[in-house]
Amino acid sequence: MNGSIDIWMSGYDNLKKCFELANDNHNSYCGFKVVSDKEHGTRMFLYWYKNTGLLTENNDVCWFPYEMDETEITYFVWGWLKKYDMGEEPTCGDGSYGKGFHFRAKDFGNCMDGCDESNVAVIVSPEWFYYGK
């Protein structure tokens, strides 16, 4: 991948397509961590290689017992998104809301969304997805 991906979407099939797009450079994933802060909300960071020298001091990374491929990581992230408690559904707008996600990926060496670790391949966050009329 040469560039970045920034997609707001919903549904398993769309999440799978997001990982397919990101798969050019990052075809396996070796760990994750979930981070929450006021500025960016709750996000899951997915690591594409294990280089502990690139981690920040507070590196609550959970390393997988094996590298996960695109299919395995999609199931893993989808399970987290489905079970994540987003609180009450918003009531504004002239449509309805459902659980969705924000998917971000960049090629190696680029940092994104408040993450200063260059071995993070993908960031996914649960978001309300608006379905208009």
Q: pLDDT digits over 1-37, tens only?
A: 557 888 999 999 999 999 998 876 567 888 899 988 8
Q: What pLDDT is recorded for position 79? A: 96
Q: Where are the beta strands (DSSP E) in the chain?
A: 4-9, 29-37, 41-47, 62-68, 96-106, 120-131
Higher local confidence (pLDDT), 13 or 62: 13
pTM, two decimal places: 0.83
Give the highest mean pLDDT range of 66-70, 94-98, 108-112: 66-70
How far from chain centre, in Å, is Cα 93? 26
CA distance 49 to 32: 11
**pLDDT confidence tier of residue 127, bands split at 50, 70 and 90:** very high
CA distance 45 to 63: 12
CA distance 38 to 26: 28
Mean confidence (pLDDT) of the chain: 82
In the chain, where the domains are located: 4-131
